Amino acid sequence: MATAQELSDFLQSIERRAFKRSLYHVRDEEAALDIVQDSMMKLAEHYGDKPVGELPLLFQRILSNTTLDWFRRSKTRNALFSNFSDFEAGGEDDQDFDLLSVLGQDASGQQSPSAEDSFASVANVREIEEEIQNLPARQREAFLLRYWEDLDVAETAAIMGCSEGSVKTHCSRAVQALSKALIAKGFKP
């Protein structure tokens, strides 16, 4: 059974990746934060007494289900209500989690890349993220679980509620679509 500290450490370790995964799905920062928070609360509330080794798969399944619930609620809400603010041009700020800022942290004190290289790297990551968001939902989910969360095929199938063959198919199609789109944008194979 997981202790309170182990549960807290686990939740802290997956927080950023879970947020980014949710953001890819819902494309709304506030909704992504709510989904991750709800998922963490559900895990702590209902499965906090499970062994630490079972928590990653349980959390991924809860996160997937909470995301699906969000889409269902949004569909119902949008069918019933319409805000005029939804039709206004949004002034979104780019304050979301940036993978490069985490990966680029250099504790060894080595020389940082030039501003031009940094800008090119950020632009490349944004183009890749955009193409990931353009994938169909199931392909995006399989791709993110396999390659972002680094889960194996069986774990991904369990989380997605499908066969291992379906996971392989979704991942293969996602990789092909991403490769084709990125090559078309000038990325080298």
Q: What is the DSSP string of 29-89?
A: HHHHHHHHHHHHHHHHHHHTTS-GGGHHHHHHHHHHHHHHHHHHHHHHHHHH---GGGGSP
Residues near 27 by Cβ (< 8 Å), separated by ≥ 6? 133
**Residue 139, class by beta-carbon neighbours within 10 Å (0-12 exposed, 13-18 middle, 19+ buried)?**
buried
Domain spans of the chain? 1-78, 118-189
Is residue 93's pLDDT more than 60? no
Higher pLDDT, 40 or 187: 40
Residue 11 has a pLDDT of 93
Residue 114 has φ and ψ, to the nearest 5°, of -65, 165
Give the end-to-end CA distance of the chain in Å, rounded to a whole number: 46
pLDDT of residue 78: 63
pTM score of the predicted model:
0.56
SS3 3: coil
pLDDT tens digit sequence for 15-49: 999 999 999 888 899 999 999 999 999 999 999 88
Which residue pairs from 68-75 have beta carbons closer than 8 angstroms and sit at least 24 positions apart in sequence?
Answer: 70/26, 70/31, 70/34, 70/35, 71/26, 74/31
Rg (CA), the chain: 18
Cβ 159 vs Cβ 184: under 8 Å:
no
pLDDT at 24: 87
Model pLDDT, residue 58: 92
Q: Domain 1-78 belongs to what topology?
A: Rna Polymerase Sigma Factor; Chain: A (1.10.1740)
Structural domain 118-189, CATH architecture: Orthogonal Bundle (1.10)
